[in-house]
């Protein structure tokens, strides 16, 4: 394989797991599940396909942040040798750890739709045990939207998203029609889907990344105007009770809280802390 070096691009990849090719069930995305060990290899293969596409379009540095659960899913030996892996948790920027203004583009591989999406594999928003919805400046966001705002904070555009058909629709709706999406499966419900053949899915991921990078100049970073008002609707009132103990966090309903920050990253970190504080019931 010959890689072009003309563009000298630096690429950030955030890799989740629910939207990876072949995955339809929670047993495939949890270390306790019987299918986890093969599914984590599928995850690496999807990511490697994105890496190959980026390399062929001139990437000279590619950082991959393992962004699912324990964030220790990708086995380093399985990752493309030209990619750098960020592994483990907790991390200050969680799924976006490692992003900064030196990157030219951001890629989301294996992403899933927001909590409450109909017919979508393992839909949730950051925590299936605690979060009903998250809004920023009045807009309900899936993880891809909030993470894209983190990238936008550093003036980095999200140019590509892969996952099921519903998350691809959400990506277009939030980030705009120019973002390239690849649907590797079409969901029938929360734990069933029609899957693309694995080789075809990875071919489409690679070609999709190449297409996105060819059109990089036409895709702008995703940003909202400050101040940033976060509205979090928990699943249980006890979770909102814990959240409102934090200064500047206001209770808005039995299960809801809100807070406002001038700096988006400060708000993002507070959001993550409130999710971590939420008890299971």
100 falls in which pLDDT band (50, 70, 90)?
A: very high
What is the structure's pLDDT at 3? 46
pLDDT of amino acid 281:
72
3-state DSSP assignment of residue 242: helix
Average pLDDT of the residues in 109-124: 98
Rounded CA gap, 201 and 206, in Å?
9
Kindly state the average pLDDT of the residues 245-273: 98
- For residues 255 and 173, membership in a common domain is answered with no
pLDDT of 267 over the 80 cut: yes
Residues 89 and 24 in one domain: yes
Name the catalytic one among 34, 80, 124, 132: 124
pLDDT surpasses 50 at 4: no
Selection from 177, 193, 173 nearest residue 185 by Cα: 193
Residue 1 within a domain: no
Say yes or no: 201 and 170 in one domain. Answer: yes
What does the pLDDT read at residue 280? Answer: 80
Same domain, 260 and 199: no
- Band (127; pLDDT cuts 50, 70, 90): very high
Find the distance separating the first CA and the last CA of the chain, reported in whole Å: 52
Q: Which of 218, 247, 263 is the last residue of a domain?
A: 218
Q: 192-227, pLDDT tens digit by residue? A: 999 999 999 999 999 999 999 999 999 999 999 999
Query: 253 lies in which domain range?
Result: 228-277
Let me know: does 169 contact 177? Beta carbons within 8 Å.
Answer: no
Per residue in 249-258, is it b (16+ CB within 10 Å) or e — as a string?
beeeeebbbb
Report how far residue 69's alpha carbon sits from residue 96's, in angstroms, rounded to the nearest whole number: 13
Listed in order, strand segments (DSSP E) in the chain are: 9-15, 59-66, 83-86, 105-111, 131-136, 139-140, 158-164, 180-189, 192-195, 228-234, 250-251, 256-261
Residue with the larger pLDDT of the pair 263 and 279: 263
Chain segment 58-77, per-residue pLDDT in tens: 999 999 999 999 999 999 99
Answer whether residue 135 is part of any domain.
yes
Select from 173, 198, 218 the last residue of a domain. Answer: 218
Q: How many CB atoms lie within 10 A of CB 176?
A: 14
Residues 173 and 118 in one domain: yes
DSSP letter at 21?
Answer: T
Whether residue 139 is found in the same domain as residue 109: yes
**Mean pLDDT for the stretch of residues 29-56:** 98
* 237-254 pLDDT tens trace: 999 999 999 999 999 999
Torsion of CA 147, 152, 154, 155, to 10 degrees: 150
- Cα separation of 128 and 231, whole Å? 17
SS3 call for 8: coil
Residue 41 domain-assigned (yes or no)? yes
Q: Rounded mean pLDDT of 131-146?
A: 98
On the question of pLDDT at 5 being above 70, the answer is: no
Within this chain, do residues 170 and 246 fall inside the same structural domain, yes or no? no
What is the spatial distance between Cα 107 and Cα 15, in angstroms, rounded to a whole number? 8
Res 1 pLDDT > 70: no
Chain-wide mean pLDDT for the chain? 96
25 is catalytic: no
Q: What is the pTM of this model?
A: 0.96
Number of domains in the chain: 2
Mention every residue, 6+ apart, whose C-beta is less than 8 A from residue 120.
112, 113, 164, 166, 167, 187, 190
Q: Has residue 3 been placed in a domain?
A: no
């Amino acid at each position: 394989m010959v890689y072009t070096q003309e563009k000298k691009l630096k690429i950030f990849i955030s890799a989740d797991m629910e939207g990876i090719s072949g995955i339809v069930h929670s047993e495939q995305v949890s270390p306790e599940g019987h299918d986890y060990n093969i599914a984590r290899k599928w995850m690496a293969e999807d990511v490697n396909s994105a890496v190959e596409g980026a390399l062929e379009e001139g990437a000279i540095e590619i950082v991959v942040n393992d962004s699912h659960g324990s964030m220790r899913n990708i086995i380093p030996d399985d990752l493309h040798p030209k990619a750098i892996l960020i592994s483990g948790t907790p991390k200050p920027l969680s799924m976006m750890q490692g992003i900064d203004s030196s990157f030219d583009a951001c890629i989301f591989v294996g992403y899933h739709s927001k909590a409450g999406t109909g017919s979508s594999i393992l839909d949730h928003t950051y925590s299936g045990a605690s979060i009903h919805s998250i809004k920023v400046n009045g807009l309900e966001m899936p993880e891809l939207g909030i993470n894209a705002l983190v990238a936008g904070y550093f003036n980095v555009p999200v140019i590509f998203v892969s996952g099921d058909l519903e998350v691809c629709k959400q990506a277009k709706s939030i980030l705009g029609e120019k973002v390239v999406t690849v649907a590797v499966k079409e969901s029938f419900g929360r734990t069933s889907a029609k899957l693309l053949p694995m080789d075809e899915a990875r071919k489409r991921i690679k070609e999709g990344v190449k297409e996105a990078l060819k059109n990089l100049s036409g895709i702008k970073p995703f940003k909202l105007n400050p101040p940033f008002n976060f509205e979090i609707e928990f699943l249980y009132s006890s979770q909102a009770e814990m959240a409102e103990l934090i200064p500047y966090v206001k209770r808005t309903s039995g299960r809801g809280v809100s807070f406002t920050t001038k700096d988006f990253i400060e708000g993002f970190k507070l959001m993550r802390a409130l999710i971590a504080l939420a008890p299971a019931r």
